[in-house]
Amino acid sequence: MKVVKKRLRLKTSVLKFIIFLCILGIAYSGYNIYSWKKSVDENNAIKEDSKKHIKVKKKKEKDIEVKEYKIDFEALKKTNPDTVGYIKVNNTNIDYVVVQAKNNNYYLNHNFNKEKNRAGWIFLDYRNKLDESDRNIIIYGHNMKDGSMFETLSNVLQKWWYEDSKNYTLTFTTEKGTNTYQVFSTYDIKPEDYYIKTSFRNDNEYSKFLKTIKSRSNHDYKTEVTKEDTILTLSSCLGAGEKRVVLHAKKVKQ
């Protein structure tokens, strides 16, 4: 009888412990959902607020209709001195002020207001200088499931996106002006460091680099790229993070 009671108490204790773990798990999941939504809402509000410092006008460049952006960098830098540019990609939700830190970790979990935030912010690789010496300018952003940050960068892998030639140009505006870029490669790949190289020993190494990243493309954009070109690279996680989605575009010479 004592053995039976002992077993019963043990089963009751185990059951209580399992129930406790379930409650703990539900609470943790609830906190994560709340924290995620709070981060997303904060950043969406910041994005909307930043638009009052951004004006746009259309113009023609080599028979290509592009948009020129007038950015009040002085006002933006009052909020965040790390502000370096503004990125816009057609038929995506990518429409953000870009920042740059002294490393590539800070803006993974801090927003434009430099507040802790799970969604982070859109940021330039810390190695880039934006002084005309960069051959590969790299911009990163998180893949947020609500469509914010760089989640819609994955649109470039979809047939409807890459078969519309209106999507082949994008703009990156810095304090020196608006630069237009023409897409020449889009693809997904396992995490690696190769496509985010910013310096090259010589022209031959750079040419080989360009040839490699162009050959990866999921679509032929019929755009030639040579060692004379400078390029812009956008990158984000894809799915659960086991892959990266990548876009490469060359600067249109003015």
- Quote the pLDDT of residue 57: 78
**Rounded distance, CA 225 to CA 27, Å?**
52
**Rounded distance, CA 195 to CA 76, Å?**
30
Give the tens place of pLDDT for each residue, 104-161. Answer: 999 999 999 999 999 999 999 999 999 888 999 999 999 988 888 999 999 999 999 9
Query: What is the rounded radius of gyration, in angstroms, for the C-alpha atoms of the chain?
Result: 23
- Quote the pLDDT of residue 76: 96
Question: In a 3-state reduction of DSSP, which class is residue 172?
Answer: strand
Residue position matching structure tokens 């469509």? 147
What residue ranges of the chain have pLDDT lower than 50?
Answer: 20-34
To the question of domain 46-251 being in CATH 2.40.260.10, the answer is yes
pTM confidence score: 0.84
- Quote the pLDDT of residue 182: 96
Question: In a 3-state reduction of DSSP, which class is residue 214?
Answer: helix
Handedness of CA 75, 78, 84, 86 (dihedral sign): negative
- Quote the pLDDT of residue 241: 74
Residue from 136, 145, 153, 141 nearest 233 by CA = 136
Residue position matching structure tokens 């760089």? 150
